[in-house]
Amino acid sequence: MSYLDPCDGEPLRAGYPVLSQEKTAGDTMKATRCSTSKPYGVAIDADRGSPGAKGVPVRLDGISKRFRSVVALRPTTLDIAPGLMTALLGPSGCGKTTTLRMLAGLEAPDEGRILIGGKDVTRVPPNRRGLGMVFQSYSLFPHMTIAENVSFGLRMAGMEPQEIASRTAEMLTLVRLPHIEDRYPNQLSGGQQQRVALARALVTNPAVLLLDEPLAALDRHLREEMQFELRRIQTSLQITTVIVTHDQEEALTMSDQVVVMSDGQTVQSGPPAEIYNQPKSRFVAEFLGTANLFDGVEDGQGNVRFAAGAGDGAVLARAEGTGRRELTVAIRPEKMWLCGQEAPASPATVGSDVGLSGRVTGHVFRGNNHVFQVAVAGREMPLVIYQQASNLDGPGFAQGDAVTVGWNPKNAVVLKD
């Protein structure tokens, strides 16, 4: 027996433990109907080798999606590395969730193919793609115990009760929640419920784990704790994982690969440190953290100098053969230094560094560091500079102080677009 998903009308079969946040109201009904249905095997059509094989690759091959006049995703090709955690990161409405839903089979792409473990699953229903999913809302069945929630997919698959019990206990141990099998979801904290949701998603040994803003409902402290937990579990299982988030810190700290999206397309992808330290565009530089941007001109000798009008043509950054004369340069606030002396004429060279004279216009203390705003001549926006709190006896500078701001040109990034 199959039942209709109230969201998209597509028949879903038992054994499919995927629930979306929009569907919470229907959970009870679905669970009840599922529990009376004929058991199916743990249905995984995607070729992931033998059961328990780790890390299948995922490929989105030229997929796109429109909702009437809204382009949710422009034609996109993306390789998701096997066994690693990949974050889809971007502002609201950039197409992250639509991409994840197409991967899950909850939306059909208008064009292109989706390959899991090398097999084309574009037309394979969600329950046969070998996926586990966790959403922002815990989506646990409120009338079922924790053990019943976790074992849901296994019971639907017709597994032997003894095996179900041992696999359920194994999963609850994995998420560090042993001995709570008999409790109900409303007897658990938000963080605990999300661990149970993760155990339920992993119990069928899926080939790929999809996480849609899984920590967004948790408070900051719990969120940080769960970031470590998710990371520990993902690396121990080496399961190919895709996480959707709009939280840049979460993407940088949790994933092996970050895919930055904007306006229905991917704009840069790579390891977190590369994305942060070598942003290609102004958008990426500003979306991931804070960046001080300068206009520069390349002098043809491997240097980018301050653009005319903004300074005396001093060296701002190093750049070999960009092929362009006018460039934008980004410098991260933590790559800049501050000192209290009056600088010489601005801009100037301080040793091998750039030095600009300015005046402190703002300061906030953030516990582990101080954030200063410094106004410099020829710039509308103040510069933002981070200084480690441990380096200073108090903030060191007060509003109105004359200061020198400096950086090593090697730490300045020339943006490509």
Ligand X SMILES: Nc1ncnc2c1ncn2[C@@H]1O[C@H](COP(=O)(O)OP(=O)(O)OP(=O)(O)O)[C@@H](O)[C@H]1O
- The contact set with ligand X (CB under 6 A) reads 67, 70, 72, 90, 92-98, 246
369's tokens: 């560091």
CB of 72 to ligand X, least distance (A): 3
CB of 110 to ligand X, least distance (A): 12
Residue 141 near residue 31 (C-beta atoms within 8 A): yes
- Nearest CB to ligand X, comparing residues 26 and 39: 26
d(CA 22, CA 2): 20
d(CA 400, CA 295): 26
- Nearest CB to ligand X, comparing residues 74 and 416: 74
- DSSP string for 281-296: SHHHHHHSS--EEEEE
- Nearest CB to ligand X, comparing residues 59 and 246: 246
CB of 31 to ligand X, least distance (A): 24
CB of 24 to ligand X, least distance (A): 16
- Nearest CB to ligand X, comparing residues 148 and 213: 213
SS3 assignment, position 155: helix
CB of 66 to ligand X, least distance (A): 9
Nearest to 216 by CA among 241, 187, 191, 197: 191
> What are the b/e assignments for 357-380, b being 16+ CB within 10 Å?
bbbbeebeeeeebbbbbbebeebe
- Nearest CB to ligand X, comparing residues 23 and 167: 23
CB of 268 to ligand X, least distance (A): 16
- Nearest CB to ligand X, comparing residues 181 and 247: 247
Name, in order, each residue with C-beta under 8 angstroms of 263's C-beta and a sequence gap of 6 or more. 94, 95
**CA 349 to chain CA mean position, Å:** 39
CB of 404 to ligand X, least distance (A): 41
- Nearest CB to ligand X, comparing residues 94 and 239: 94
Residues in the chain: 417
d(CA 184, CA 166): 19
Amino acid identity of residue 23, one-letter, is K
Residue 84 near residue 269 (C-beta atoms within 8 A): no
CB of 93 to ligand X, least distance (A): 4
Q: Is 53 left (phi over 0), alpha (psi -120 to 50) or beta?
A: beta
- Nearest CB to ligand X, comparing residues 93 and 271: 93
Which 8-state DSSP code applies to residue 249? H
- Nearest CB to ligand X, comparing residues 103 and 156: 103
CB of 90 to ligand X, least distance (A): 6
368's tokens: 């582990």
Nearest to 205 by CA among 231, 238, 180: 238
